[in-house]
Amino acid sequence: MYHHCKITPSLYFVNFAAATNQCYLTSLPPIFSRGELKGLFPSYDCPQCINRKEHGRISAARPDEKNIDILVTYTDANGAVRTRSINSKDLSTSWVWRYPSDEDGDHKKSSKEVEGKSQKPDKLEGTIDHSNGNKNQYGVVVEHKSASELHPIKLKRQRLRNERREWRTAELIEQDKEIENQIQDAAVERAKELDTTSKGKYNIWRKEYENPNADSTLKLMRDQIIMARAYATIAKAKNEDSLYDSLINHSRESQLAIGEATSDSELQPSALDRAKDMGHVLAAAKDQLYDCMTLARKLRVMLQSAETGLNMLKKRSAFLIQLAAKTVPRPLHCLPLLLTTDFFIRRYEEREFPNKEKLEDPSLFHYAIFSDNVLATSVVVNSTILHAKEPEKHVFHIVTDKLNFPAMKMWFLVNPPAAATIHVENVDDFTWLNSTYCPVLRQLESARMIEYYFKAHQSNSLTSGTDNLKYRNPKYLSMLNHLRFYLPEVYPKLEKILFLDDDIVVQKDLTPLWSVNLQGMVNGAVETCKESFHRFDKYLNFSNPKISENFDPNACGWAFGMNVFDLKEWRRRNITGIYHYWQERNEDRTLWKLGTLPPGLITFYNLTHPLDRSWHVLGLGYDPALNKTEIQNGAVVHYNGNYKPWLDLAIAKYKAYWSRYVMFNNSYLQLCNIRE
């Protein structure tokens, strides 16, 4: 350990060795020259100095006795820094004065004196040796004592400090390893939860995680706009016109800076400046207008107003979606017009399909499609034939209405599916299907139903009840929608038939469905219930005793759209009679609302055999979050819902499954501007 001595009137830093009680002058203040200091402060005599003088290493004469005050700064055994003042004449003879002129003599030792010791020469007058000492602010090299010269207590402290340093270093390294392992484990868990089917945001080689503060500026600006509107209203009420104008102007500028941005990266460069300016204005408004109760009351009014506006927008959106789902786009309206024109130009003998002998052959695979949409029906037929292993054994029975019958027939006459048999019929030609036999037709002709469907104030008002809006769809007025309950009457010679909706796409060979054992059931369908969803209580009114006494509210629902029907068992159990029974009791629509699924659930209650879910994947017409792998593995995908694939409303990522089976190079589609 070394101590510094302050000597007045001049300053000297003296190395003090506690073990030897010797103090060595090691530096000179820069304000004195070497010669001046020689004359002022020659070395005191001491035994060591006398010996050195005798050896010719000290050339200075014995100094005159003077009283020199010395300030000594040192560190005691407890580590505290202390200062004391002493006089030079009180110093023991072990204190030695060293001058720069004595550099050569004082720091040269004979080979005998340095034998067995490590040599550490002093570096004077600002000369630095970094390997042997540390430089202080005066350019002095502070010599370090060897471990053998230190006090045992200090050696013990030094050893304990080194041990604590090593222990702390090891502890920090271990903590770093633990933290690194935790980060790796967390990254692995997050990687397992990634949906690798979604493209764009993640891929298998690179994982990008969202910054939780990615929209902090955007949120701040939106909050500022809300507060500015609140303060602007209060300022207007208090006739603070200048503050009101400032708040409104800054709100408008902030809104323009935000634009349609959804994150900070999409904001304009000037957005941050706008936020700062708005902050200054809001601070001024707070100083002038802030009142807790007034501001809370205003924000509550704004919240209620926003909720009212949101509810109105929801109703308007529901109405417009239903309206768009009902409306036929111009290209789809053009297609049947062109086909109908060309159909009637043809000669009569050119209007018939070949292979009529296959229409009633029970050994073949028969499909029933009831639709008035030519393009949609063509996709169902094309996708089924493309995946069929033996297309010549497949027969398609298509029933449409009088308006679209020529167009439907003309399309398949011009574009016949390879080797398959097509049969197109007009539902109006079924003379047995009349109001006397069919309860639905009788109900549709009633004054109550006509009022429900055709009263303007009920059917097309934006603010009217939207809960029942979807049930006012014109498809419920068409018998094509209810014809599925009369399959044995439509096809009296067939024993089994596969019913397909026109909003489905076939992705695999459906031939194995005819060999499925229905185990005495009439209907083979895919169940749609998951946990508590899509069960009977969703479709039927169980507050009515007629329903609650006959059906289980937790019974699992199933899907219309791809159904295998055993027509022999159907006839034996008189399924059509069951349908008539319940349809007549729902004339006032108190058992279920309009549609075909609720009466289907009732009619085939305890008569439905569940098929494997991979046969029929639903939801492409309303659910944008379906599993991509499940869709690709499905034999049939169903666009049930309002977002049909031929409409602009369609969910974009699902549209390709349907459009790949559309013949866009067909001349009729090109004339009607039907493109991908």
The pLDDT value recorded for residue 329 is 84
Which amino acid, residue 72? V
Mean pLDDT of 551-578: 94
The pLDDT value recorded for residue 195 is 54
Which amino acid, residue 342? D
Residues near 117 by beta carbon (within 8 Å), at least 6 away in sequence: none
d(CA 386, CA 408): 20
Decide if pLDDT at 343 tops 80: yes
The CA–CA distances, whole Å, from 662 to 58, 329, 380 equal 113, 16, 10
Q: Which of 63, 77, 65, 252 is nearest to 153 (CA)?
A: 77
Decide if pLDDT at 130 tops 70: no
Q: How confident is the model at residue 478 (pLDDT cuts 50, 70, 90)?
A: confident
Contact call for residues 484 and 596 (beta carbons, < 8 A) = yes
What does the DSSP assignment read for 172-207? Answer: HHHHHHHHHHHHHHHHHHHHHH--TTSTTT--SS--
The CA–CA distances, whole Å, from 206 to 191, 194, 199, 203 equal 11, 12, 12, 6
Q: How confident is the model at residue 633 (pLDDT cuts 50, 70, 90)?
A: very high
Contact call for residues 567 and 495 (beta carbons, < 8 A) = yes
Decide if pLDDT at 428 tops 80: yes
Q: How confident is the model at residue 521 (pLDDT cuts 50, 70, 90)?
A: very high
Among 204-208, 396-400, 449-453, the range scoring the smallest mean pLDDT is 204-208
Among 59-73, 458-472, 607-621, the range scoring the smallest mean pLDDT is 458-472
Among 281-285, 452-456, 636-640, the range scoring the smallest mean pLDDT is 452-456
Mean pLDDT of 200-221: 58
DSSP state of 428: G
Q: How confident is the model at residue 350 (pLDDT cuts 50, 70, 90)?
A: confident
Please work out, in degrees rounded to the nearest 5, the angle formed at the alpha carbon of residue 266 by the alpha carbons of 260 and 271: 85
Name the maximum alpha-carbon separation found in the chain.
Answer: 148
Rounded to 10 deg, the angle between the 292-326 and 216-237 helix axes is: 120
Decide if pLDDT at 415 tops 50: yes
Mean pLDDT of 398-419: 94
d(CA 9, CA 5): 12
Residues near 391 by beta carbon (within 8 Å), at least 6 away in sequence: 385, 417, 418, 419, 420
The pLDDT value recorded for residue 136 is 44
Q: Which of 342, 480, 489, 501 is nearest to 402 (CA)?
A: 480
State whether residue 42 is helix, strand or coil. coil
Mean pLDDT of 657-663: 94
Q: How confident is the model at residue 469 (pLDDT cuts 50, 70, 90)?
A: low
Residues near 601 by beta carbon (within 8 Å), at least 6 away in sequence: 536, 539, 540, 555, 557, 558
Residue 527, beta-bridge partner list: 558
Q: Please, how many CA atoms are within 13 Å of residue 137, restricted to the half-sphere of its CB? A: 2
Q: How confident is the model at residue 468 (pLDDT cuts 50, 70, 90)?
A: low
Average pLDDT, the chain: 78
DSSP state of 43: P
d(CA 140, CA 124): 7
Q: What would the 3-class secondary structure string for 49-80 be?
A: HHHHHHCCCCCCCCCCCCCCEEEEEEECCCCC
State whether residue 22 is helix, strand or coil. strand
Decide if pLDDT at 56 tops 50: no
Contact call for residues 335 and 404 (beta carbons, < 8 A) = no
Mean pLDDT of 248-253: 91
Q: How confident is the model at residue 79 (pLDDT cuts 50, 70, 90)?
A: low
The pLDDT value recorded for residue 496 is 96
d(CA 667, CA 566): 40
pLDDT tens-digit map of 40-53: 444 444 444 444 44
Decide if pLDDT at 303 tops 80: yes
Contacts 24+ apart (CB under 8 A), 241-250: 243/284, 243/285, 243/288, 243/289, 246/281, 246/284, 247/281, 247/282, 247/285, 250/274, 250/277, 250/278, 250/281
Decide if pLDDT at 10 tops 50: no
Mean pLDDT of 181-188: 79
Higher pLDDT, 66 or 665: 665
Higher pLDDT, 415 or 134: 415
Q: Which of 395, 369, 367 is nearest to 497 (CA)?
A: 367
The CA–CA distances, whole Å, from 506 to 447, 492, 610 equal 41, 26, 19
The gap between the terminal CA atoms of the chain, to the nearest Å, is: 89
Q: How confident is the model at residue 519 (pLDDT cuts 50, 70, 90)?
A: very high
Higher pLDDT, 170 or 396: 396
Name the one residue in this structure whose structure tokens are 């037929």. Answer: 381
Residue 565, beta-bridge partner list: 497, 523
DSSP state of 404: T
Q: How confident is the model at residue 78 (pLDDT cuts 50, 70, 90)?
A: low
Higher pLDDT, 254 or 204: 254
- Phi-psi category of residue 251: left, alpha or beta, with phi > 0 → left and psi -120 to 50 → alpha: alpha
Q: According to DSSP H, which parts of 388-485 are helical?
A: 405-414, 439-444, 447-454, 456-459
Higher pLDDT, 11 or 629: 629
Domains of the chain as residue ranges with CATH: 216-325 (no CATH), 330-672 (3.90.550.10)
Q: Which of 514, 328, 493, 518 is nearest to 397 (CA)?
A: 493
Contact call for residues 503 and 638 (beta carbons, < 8 A) = yes
